[in-house]
Amino acid sequence: MSKPPPVAGTSRALRYLGLRCLQAVPTVIAIAVLNFFFLRLAPGDLVDTMAGEAGAATPEYMAMLRQLYGLDQPVWTQFLHYLSRLAHLDLGYSFRNSTTVLDLILSRLPNTALLMLSSLAVALVGGVALGTIGARWRGRWPDALISAISTVGFATPLFWIGLMLIVLFSVHLRWLPAGGMTDVEAGRTGLPYLLDVARHLVLPVFSLAVFYVAIYARMTRSAVLEVRDLDFVRTARAKGLAPRKVMARHVLRNALLPIVTMTGLQFGTLLSGSVVIETVFAWPGMGRLAFDAVFQRDLNLLLGVLLFSSCLVVVSNLCTDLLYSVLDPRIEVR
């Protein structure tokens, strides 16, 4: 990062935040343009779909509908309309679900966030722990075992792990529920409800986390091996710090930097993974919404999910940058 002026404080961080938000605007607009392009590329327009729904429609009625929705206007006018609607956070209307796309997405967002953040937490804790163990016993059997497991975990389809976990833990052992988010019939409230959600959360979170545990374990191992021979670590050891403290404060803190970068870069992939996992476990999140949209031929909804999830990625990249400067004060926000 470039040299910052020596004025400290939150005002600079805020200005940086504002600047980054401004920089994100062209990206979001470009994605909106692409969305519009996809919408026009698809065979049949909205009115065709609606007419198909209704079973039959006269050409006059269809022409009237086209006029009503502005589909008879030139492409440019339609595009400007589209952009101005987006600027008002109007992602369109889902005729299938008779509600606005934004409402649908927002109602599913907390469930997806719960799934993704829990998986990320499990992956971070598990990956960093395994990677540290691997580095600590480099070349011996724990290291070999961990790297073998992570190599396989890296190559296995997430959704297949999910299905196999269902076979084992739900069908044969009957320990955990196979899908959904709660037992609807039980009608629990309060703490029992939360525990019920937690029980439903275990398998999806674990299936989604496996891939990331594998990545984080590999990265932590190599980062720890790289950092632990540096001068400042030797100094910390020489001044008599306990090995555990050296590991936690000096080695791991520095080794975490590449992991934070990776998490920011992988956020879109994590969202993608959650689409498939939500489908496997009937988890009522955004991914499941996208899946249903494909089968209902609800392109408006599908594109809304694409645009909204891209905005989530933009926000997460911003958070990554901020977290970076917290972890390493030498990297200052511009």
| Residues of the shown chain interacting with another protein in the complex, contacts defined by CB under 8 A | 26-27, 30-31, 34, 38, 41-43, 151-152, 154-160, 163-164, 166-167, 171, 218-219, 222, 226, 258, 265, 268-269, 271-273, 275-276, 279, 290-291, 294-295, 299, 302-303, 305-306, 309-310, 313-314, 317
Q: Whole-number minimum distance, CB 20 to another protein, in Å?
A: 12
Of the pair 106, 152, the CB lying nearest another protein is at 152
In the complex with another protein, the residue whose CB is nearer, 203 or 236, is: 203
Q: Nearer to another protein by C-beta: 236 or 270?
A: 270
Q: C-beta of 262: minimal distance to another protein in Å? A: 10
Q: Which is nearer to another protein, 123 or 280 (CB)?
A: 280
| Helices 101-136, 141-155: inter-axial angle, 10-degree rounding | 160
Closer residue to another protein in complex, CB, 115/158: 158
Q: How far is the CB of 24 from another protein (least distance, A)?
A: 9
Least distance (Å) between residue 264 CB and another protein: 11
Q: Least separation, in Å, of the C-beta of 118 and another protein?
A: 18
